[in-house]
């Protein structure tokens, strides 16, 4: 399937929207990641800030990998 230029610009617009909804960025995500992991392990309700972390982790492979190893480490300690 080939995209014509109109479809292509729609696609670009969509990907910008996706990036925009992720307001946290990797630095912000990283700062709150341990809190987020702990909240998940404790199964407490997520605050708005923690939801932002979750949104970022879902969209960012780099932070997702980081989060998985953090979670593994925390489980080993527990
Ligand atoms: Zn990230």
Per-residue pLDDT tens digits for 19-74: 556 778 999 999 999 999 999 999 999 999 999 999 999 999 999 999 999 999 99
- Would you say residue 16 has pLDDT above 80? no
pLDDT of residue 17: 57
Q: How far is the CA of 53 from the centre of ligand 1 (A)?
A: 9
pTM confidence score: 0.68
Q: How far is the CA of 67 from the centre of ligand 1 (A)?
A: 10
Report helix, strand or coil for 30.
helix
Q: List Cα–Cα distances, 9 to 20, 22, 58, in angstroms.
A: 16, 21, 24
Whole-angstrom distance, CA of residue 50 vs CA of residue 8: 34
27 or 14: whose pLDDT is higher?
27
Q: How far is the CA of 38 from the centre of ligand 1 (A)?
A: 18
Q: How far is the CA of 68 from the centre of ligand 1 (A)?
A: 13
| Cβ < 5 A residues, ion ligand 1 | 26, 60, 62-63
């Amino acid at each position: 399937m080939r995209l014509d230029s109109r479809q292509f610009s729609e696609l670009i617009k969509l990907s910008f929207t996706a990036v925009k909804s992720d307001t946290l960025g990797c630095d912000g995500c990283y700062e709150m990641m341990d809190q987020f992991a702990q909240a998940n392990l404790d199964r407490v309700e997520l605050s708005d800030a923690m939801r932002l972390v979750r949104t970022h982790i879902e969209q960012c492979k780099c932070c997702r990998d980081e989060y998985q190893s953090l979670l593994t480490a925390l489980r080993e300690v527990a």
